[in-house]
Structure 1
Amino acid sequence: DDDGISSSVRLAASRSLTGGVVVEGTSGSTGISLASLCASRGHSCVIVMPDDQASEKRTTLDCLGAVVHVVRNCAISNPGHYVNVARRIAEGINEGRYGSDRDGDATDTDGDGDGDGDGVPPPPLRAAFMNQFENESNFRAHYETTGPEIWNDASGEIDAFVMSAGTGGTVSGVGSYLKERDPAIRVVLVDPPGSALYNKVKHGVAYAPQQRERSMRRHRYDTLAEGIGLDRVTRNFAAGYDAGVVDDALSLSDQEAVDVAHWLLREEGLFV
């Protein structure tokens, strides 16, 4: 709601030392990284996340000083989708539609709008919407950094790269780099229940049976896995898919994911 957004913007303004606000719609992981970076740089951070994520993510974001909106998970075509809400917040800040603590209050003895009495007005509040799903800096970062790191760490001895897709940036970026180094490397997408990308890779149509009319559940993806699965083809996923980078796809059940997570913990000491 607009009142809630206005309150969040005022809180974000009060926490920004630079006048800069970073806004993102995220299931949590990217938001945690952004909040940490913003805290170290003096920016404020506003995160909009769906309500089907682990509470620990919200707690971590709160601890890092982020202003967090939690919204109902819904289709990207819905204005209430967390990505659309985040975009709207950023646009509203930049267009001056939302007030902030910088407008002055009873403690603003010098009239400069920041309430600190020093007579120096605060920097103007500006927002940047990260747009991780469609911003191809995502793809390029994995192409330029993650891909080379994996190639070097494995000394080029790679048969396959297996990856799920949250935004699609990792599987596309890393896959593109690895295939340039060795075209024989297979890139395989692992998709959770309810995601449309499995059928996109296998049959060319982004669709999952869980998305048919009048059968939608409260949560978009009927899976324990968080932060992966898509009901659309993002620019970042298309960057790899359209170039023929993704060779195959597997649909993985929750039970298989849990079994492998336990195996990794027991055999490799990796807590995932």
Structure 2
Amino acid sequence: MATEKVCNSIVETVGHTPMIRLNHVTANLGHEVYAKLEFLNPMGSVKDRIARWMIEKAEKDGRLQPGQMIIENSSGNTALGLAMMAIQKGYRLKVVVRDRISREKINQLNALGVEVYLVDATLPPESPDSYNNITPRLAAATPGCYFPDQHNNRENNEAHYQTTGPEIWEQMEGRIDLFVAGIGTGGTIGGVARFLKEKDPAIRVVAVDPEGSVFYDWFHHRRMVTPGPYLIEGLGDEFLIGCADFTHIDDIIRVNDRDAFHATRELAKREAVLAGGSSGAALWAIRQIASNLDIARPARIVTIFADGSSRYLSTIFNDKWMQAQGLM
């Protein structure tokens, strides 16, 4: 294997993550399942890609000037990616996060010197102090700040159309039957799906949504439901958002916390893949889909493991926490 060149900063290490075949947790499916390990990005998640893309685009067109404050809301992963960009490029960063995110994410943000604003996760979406409403208000009250607005910024989708999608296509040598990924902001699945469908319209794309999120009911029934509580971080939302483009999605499957987290723990124990809860959700969904595939040969199924276990050691991988949530 060729030795990689020296990078000028940690920012240059974003992307070009490995693709692996899962062997043990999918042994009985009769299909080939591959996972792109996005938790091997420098700050530990797929969101490093959009953090770099949005900041560099904003710098290029003058929306972001040296020394400015960046304000964003995040389930933690985008915040960590933005922290990397802020440190490397000399910006200040304030992030709004729900108070249900893992302690590990808060600790990592604190270690990076980020100003963290905690919001009550139980507030209804229409509350002016809810997660999605308070952030633009904070941005408006902060003169000269830059608000990337990952939930409505189409650069989120574009980052994956330009980078993640082409990497997957190349790694799989253009042979893909099914792409399965979680849907949160919609940027990852939207951008990758668009790229893959342009290459091969026969590729089927399935999104994974937590029980309690609104996307499943909107996709299947075109109705908005009252959102419910769930513990999977980084997936789903309480209302439709600008980046959640369903154009290239063929189906959405719903997963609950219990199934997602037990699959996450199984990945660790049977594959030595230390991934986060959204990865377990994707694995659980693939198992359901694979059992009903009408295909005469083994299908090639690709997914994305968005972040790693280090952010969930006190939750998903903690028996006492799992028991307290009624999940064990």
TM-score range, shorter chain: 0.7 to 0.9
Query: Partners in 2 of 1:69 and 1:153 — Cα distance?
Result: 39
Q: Which residue is 2:270 aligned to?
A: 267
Query: Partners in 2 of 1:156 and 1:255 — Cα distance?
Result: 34
Cα shift at 1:61: 0.6
Query: Partners in 2 of 1:81 and 1:21 — Cα distance?
Result: 21
Q: Normalising to structure 2: TM-score of the pair?
A: 0.61
Unaligned runs of 5+ in 2: 1-64, 276-328
Query: Secondary structure of 2:145's match?
Result: strand
Q: Which residue is 1:253 aligned to?
A: 256
Q: Which residue is 1:200 aligned to?
A: 218
Deviating above 3 A after TM superposition, structure 1's stretches of 4 or more consecutive aligned residues are none
When the two chains are superposed, the root-mean-square deviation of aligned CA atoms in Å is 1.7
Cα shift at 1:206: 3.4
Residues 1:163 and 2:181 aligned together: yes
Task: Determine if contact 1:178/1:185 at 8 Å carries over to the other structure.
Answer: yes
Q: Normalising to structure 1: TM-score of the pair?
A: 0.73
After TM superposition, the structure 1 = structure 2 runs for residues 118-267 of structure 1, keeping only pairs within 5 Å, are 126-207=144-225, 211=226, 221-238=228-245, 241=246, 243=247, 245-267=248-270
**Residue deviations 1:145-193, cap 9 Å, x none?**
1111111111111111111111011111111111111111111111111
Residues 1:86 and 2:104 aligned together: no
Query: Partners in 2 of 1:259 and 1:93 — Cα distance?
Result: 42
Query: Secondary structure of 1:225's match?
Result: coil
Task: Determine if contact 1:199/1:206 at 8 Å carries over to the other structure.
Answer: yes
Q: Percent identity over the alignment?
A: 36
Query: Secondary structure of 1:251's match?
Result: strand
Query: Partners in 1 of 2:119 and 2:206 — Cα distance?
Result: 32
Unaligned runs of 5+ in 1: 1-16, 95-125, 212-219
More relative contact order in 1 or in 2 (CA 8 Å, sep 6+)? 2
1:55 pairs with one of 94, 98, 103: 103
Cα shift at 1:221: 4.4
Cα shift at 1:86: 2.0
Cα shift at 1:18: 4.4
Query: Secondary structure of 2:117's match?
Result: strand
Query: Partners in 2 of 1:251 and 1:18 — Cα distance?
Result: 43
Cα shift at 1:29: 0.7
Query: Partners in 1 of 2:111 and 2:127 — Cα distance?
Result: 30
Q: Which residue is 1:27 aligned to?
A: 75
Aligned length: 210
Query: Partners in 1 of 2:257 and 2:119 — Cα distance?
Result: 24
Cα shift at 1:21: 0.7
Task: Determine if contact 1:83/1:131 at 8 Å carries over to the other structure.
Answer: no
